[in-house]
Amino acid sequence: MSKRYFVLLALGIVALGVHAGAAHAQSPGKPGHAAIASAHKLATAAGFETLAAGGNAFDAAVTVAAALSVVEPQSSGIGGGGLFLLHRAADARDVMVDARETAPAAVDAKKYLDAKGDLDQDKSWNGPLAAAIPGEVAGMVWISQHYGKLPLSTSLAPAIRIARDGFQPDSRFLRELASRADVIRRYPAGAALLLENGTAPKAGWTFKNPDLAHTLELVAANGDDGFYRGEFAHRLVDGVKAAGGGWSLQDLDGYRVKEREPLAFDYRGWHIVTASPPSSGGIALAEMLNILSAYDLAKYDSTHRIHFIVEAMRRAYRDRAEYLGDPDYVKMPIERLTGMKYADKLRASIQADKATPSSSLPGYLNPHESTHTTHFSIIDADGNMAGVTQTVNLPFGNGMVVAGTGFVLNNEMDDFALKAGAPNAFGLVGNDANAPKAGHRPLSSMTPSFVIGADRVGVIGTPGGSRIITMVLEGILSFIDGELPAQIVAKPRFHHQYLPDVISAEPHAFSADETRSLEKMGYVVNEGERTWGFMNVVSWDRKTGEMHAAADPRGTSGSGEVK
């Protein structure tokens, strides 16, 4: 949160403090209660356990991140990475801790091609070549040491306990495990951990993971060294090499998280703090909201509202990832892309009653369609906030577990443009900005965000590959319209990503009248049967003192709670 907004908010709460007698307001500027929403009830409960032990939102973020590694390994885990957006209430500091994975030094783009020179999806999705150097543990350790109040032994304790005692995976976990069983079966340690006699387990299975409990204990006792150095690092490197990959001890030893300035901008009196590169999410979000800022969306009928939102999506997705890559290596025109002058130019091409065919816009970009990742949101009793999106990329990452570690490795190498100048297996058109180079971070869509108004504050995010950004956009617009987290996460979603030139919609996103009107404007509306995303949102109304937390009902075990 910028100092300016923090001061405005603080003044607001002082002025309104007399009315803030609602159950949750305890002292000016502080919620007095905490809200956590995550993709799993055990992870949400673990976060509250850490708060009850005297931890702050950042300790709780470490706990929830680790617990999700245990109970939702199909989406994220210590074999992957994440972006941790933090707001520290004491000094109004916003920071993004970038724990994104990096390419190993031995990366060689040619190894991902088949005999004909085409991208070989099996290599970029499955097994050792697909795995980048994990950042998740370094992120958790960094946050605990620099922002938390508790030792890692306390904040990791709930995850260690759940891993050791076991839990019963939900239907989503089991379905996704079954969908990746063929790959998991290739690697004996993963097959032993995740399958029963070589087949995907059925409902009622208790998943115990003592190896993961032990790995987390090593981190609790030794911090980074427990994972990136010494015996454990040898184990990881040997395991990846034995399977045909090219990790080295130096890759692990050299991994560092980066503290980055989040992307921040204003939209019609609201302040948005969101992910900066190596995510493309914040930039696309800024472009879309800048375009939309000139429309008073509340004044339009629903079809025109959808029309303008879709046209903003179309234009931002054309630019998405065109110029973007690892900010440590790639010079990016961020100021231009997120500036109002640029948005004015893009807006000028939007017609009032007509779709703009994507083919009439210059440039070409097909987005990546990865759907596995997780997001959780936290506000603590002091007003500290954490919005964390973390991932192993595809379900169960690369499908491979190194013996004795207890976690799948990511397949984040596929987020690079592995074959320059040609669409990759997902349809991503690559360029040099996102080329796979030693030590580089692959471009991401993860968009953890804070929405800050004079009275209301929200933490929002979701998994969903390229759809993350449009989901976060729609969530932010709903929040600004006054909707509560439970309404925001349940709302049907629509999405346009420049190409293919169609509006994808969840069931019941549009009424029959809206669809007809959109088609008359020239849109192709594809209302599918499937839903997408797993949005988890918390909010705090500084005026009334109310806090809310909600997990997406599309997920099976999500939980949002205020305590």
The catalytic residues are 373
Q: Of 255 and 295, which has the nearer Cβ to ligand GLY?
A: 255
Q: Which two tokens stand for residue 492?
A: 């049907």
Residue 265 phi/psi, 5° resolution? -160, 170
Does the protein bind ligand GLY through residue 374 (CB under 6 A)? no
> Taking each helix axis from N to C terminus, what angle separates 136-147 and 210-222, rounded to the nearest 10 degrees?
40
Q: Of 223 and 475, which has the nearer Cβ to ligand GLY?
A: 475
Smallest distance from the beta carbon of 384 to ligand GLY, in angstroms? 25
Report 511-550 residues binding ligand GLY (CB under 6 A). Answer: none
Size of the site for ligand GLY (CB under 6 A): 9
Closest-by-Cβ residue to ligand GLY is 444
Q: Of 33 and 493, which has the nearer Cβ to ligand GLY?
A: 493
Query: CA 44 to CA 478: how far, in whole Å?
Result: 24
Smallest distance from the beta carbon of 472 to ligand GLY, in angstroms? 12
CB 135 within 8 A of CB 100: yes
Total residue length of the chain: 563
Does the protein bind ligand GLY through residue 159 (CB under 6 A)? no
Q: Of 373 and 497, which has the nearer Cβ to ligand GLY?
A: 373
Does the protein bind ligand GLY through residue 393 (CB under 6 A)? yes
Does the protein bind ligand GLY through residue 462 (CB under 6 A)? no
Smallest distance from the beta carbon of 471 to ligand GLY, in angstroms? 12
Burial class (CB in 10 A: 0-12, 13-18, 19+), 294: middle
Q: Tell me the CA distances in angstroms from 168 to 40, 48, 91, 201, 219, one per residue in order.
A: 12, 21, 41, 11, 25
Q: Of 281 and 558, which has the nearer Cβ to ligand GLY?
A: 281
CB 75 within 8 A of CB 392: yes
Q: Of 312 and 428, which has the nearer Cβ to ligand GLY?
A: 428
CB 509 within 8 A of CB 494: yes
Does the protein bind ligand GLY through residue 449 (CB under 6 A)? no
Query: CA 331 to CA 433: how far, in whole Å?
Result: 8
Query: CA 130 to CA 400: how far, in whole Å?
Result: 10
Does the protein bind ligand GLY through residue 74 (CB under 6 A)? no
Q: Of 384 and 390, which has the nearer Cβ to ligand GLY?
A: 390
For strands 93-99 and 258-260, give the pairing.
antiparallel
Among 391, 434, 449, 497, contact with ligand GLY (rule: CB under 6 A): 391
SS (H, E, C) 39-50: CCHHHHHHHHHH
Does the protein bind ligand GLY through residue 470 (CB under 6 A)? no
Among 370, 398, 434, 497, contact with ligand GLY (rule: CB under 6 A): 370
Query: Which amino acid belongs to residue 523?
Result: Y
| 163 torsion bin: left (phi>0), alpha (psi -120 to 50), beta (else) | alpha
Strands across the sheet with 494-495, in order? 494-495, 503-505, 525-527
Among 316, 378, 446, 476, contact with ligand GLY (rule: CB under 6 A): 446
Smallest distance from the beta carbon of 105 to ligand GLY, in angstroms? 21
Smallest distance from the beta carbon of 239 to ligand GLY, in angstroms? 22
Smallest distance from the beta carbon of 254 to ligand GLY, in angstroms? 21
Sign (positive or negative) of CA dihedral 216, 46, 146, 3 = positive
Smallest distance from the beta carbon of 351 to ligand GLY, in angstroms? 32
CB 389 within 8 A of CB 463: yes
Smallest distance from the beta carbon of 370 to ligand GLY, in angstroms? 5
Report 406-445 residues binding ligand GLY (CB under 6 A). Answer: 412, 415, 444-445
Does the protein bind ligand GLY through residue 373 (CB under 6 A)? yes
Q: Of 377 and 391, which has the nearer Cβ to ligand GLY?
A: 391
* Residue numbers at the binding site for ligand GLY (CB under 6 A): 370, 373, 391, 393, 412, 415, 444-446
